[in-house]
A and B are shown apart, each in its own frame.
Chain A
Amino acid sequence: MQQRDYGIPGTPIFDGAMAAKGYALNRMCYSFNAAENREAFRRDEEAYCRSYGLSGEQRAAVASRNVLQLIAAGGNIYYLAKFAGILGLDVQDIGAQQTGMTKEAFKARLVEAGR
């Protein structure tokens, strides 16, 4: 399925094409709702990813810890948030990473948006 451009800059739209592409990756991330699965991932990341049948692109994205790359591989932000939890990243760390800002600068921009 072709990825569509919805014309909203900097904003991924998780639609049917992305849901199909990202199914294995998101299914793995969904499993992280359970603490024992997070533990199994930490114990042997390679084996855990293999057991969920991740594509090469998805496996590389997981290894990179790069959110934009994970999204491009079909990751959905709500399921990815559970992976971020394993890495000890909060949504501001994720925001800073995606925008190429320091966390401090990202937080300052949010404060500015409220003025």
Chain B
Amino acid sequence: MATIVGAVTSSHVPAIGRALEKGLQQDPYWQPFFAGYPPAQRWIAQAKPDVAVVFYQDHGLNFFLDAMPTFAVGAAAEYRNADEGWGIPTVAPFRGDPALSWHVIETLVADEFDVTTCQRMLVDHALTLPMALLWPGGGAWPVRIVPITMNHVQHPLPSPRRAYRLGQSVGRALASWPGDERIVVLGTGGLSHQLDGRRAGFINKPFDLMCMDALVDEPEKLTRYSALDLVREAGAQGTELMAWIAARAALPGRVRKVHAHYHVPVSNTAAGLMVFEPESAVLARAA
């Protein structure tokens, strides 16, 4: 049986890509952000996942308004990134895991999530940057990926409750996967930020810290918010929190918080990072 080693949730601000490109990890502006990542990198190195299932949102690279899926699951053998309009450097292609992708899709559809399936899918900074932060150094990626996107471009967005249930369903899929892979679940985006409108630059630190706290022991608490509540409380783009909620919901049973980091600002955004481990993994290690 597959092992779910844990979940990592991380912000994915495009400016991080530029900072990585220029090697600004020790720059005074960037140091407090990058300082949060070594513990997560060490945890990943120790957990040795083979596959990363990544919940994120596409920002107008792969999907346009002509056909906008609420939830889409990648089922490709390979995924590439692309220049997103800003001359972003391309990274090494990601290997997919079509068999696991289809198993996830079958479970989701059986659970009445009518997802879009993608045998061709470009992945944007929301996937590539957290990957680069967790597996630094460039070169070939040591994990295969199963990308799962959630619409946050066009309202109506799915609700946090729906995101939570989506995560639970993906968790059931992973727990029932007969392969012997070690699987990590990632959720990217957030935390509070707003790019558009006269309220641009809005950040809500107390709300972010409440969410990070709730995600550990009572993630269901966050499902009482609507998508528009998240817009109000966390900013227009703060709805990305839903990817964190889905990733957390994919973990079975109770979890242990391995690591958490929060820093404001990175560009216009409150940056957050969390690492969770299922208690079952902690117990297995102790035995």
List the interface of chain A (C-beta within 8 A of B): 6, 8-16, 19, 23, 26-27, 29-30, 32-35, 38, 67-68, 71, 76-83, 85-86, 90-92, 94-95, 98-99, 106-107, 109-111, 113-114
Interface residues of B in 5-38 (CB under 8 A from A): 14-15
List the interface of chain B (C-beta within 8 A of A): 14-15, 59-61, 64-66, 82-87, 153-156, 194-203, 205, 228, 231-232, 235-237, 263-265, 267-268, 270
On whether the beta carbons of B231 and A13 are closer than 8 Å, the reply is yes
On whether the beta carbons of B198 and A98 are closer than 8 Å, the reply is yes
Q: Which single member of A16, A80, A81, A109 contacts B201 (CB below 8 Å)?
A: A109
Tell me the interface secondary structure of chain B in the complex: loop
> Measured between alpha carbons, how far is A35 from B154 in the docked complex, in Å?
25
> Measured between alpha carbons, how far is A80 from B268 in the docked complex, in Å?
16
On whether the beta carbons of A113 and B198 are closer than 8 Å, the reply is no
On whether the beta carbons of A35 and B87 are closer than 8 Å, the reply is yes
> What are the 6 A-B residue pairs with the smallest beta carbon separation, nearest first?
A114-B264, A82-B85, A10-B199, A10-B198, A113-B203, A110-B265
On whether the beta carbons of A113 and B264 are closer than 8 Å, the reply is yes
> Measured between alpha carbons, how far is A38 from B85 in the docked complex, in Å?
8
Tell me the interface secondary structure of chain A in the complex: helix
> Measured between alpha carbons, how far is A106 from B85 in the docked complex, in Å?
24
Taking CB atoms, residues of chain A closer than 8 Å to B156 are 15
Q: Which single member of A13, A95, A98, A109 contacts B155 (CB below 8 Å)?
A: A13
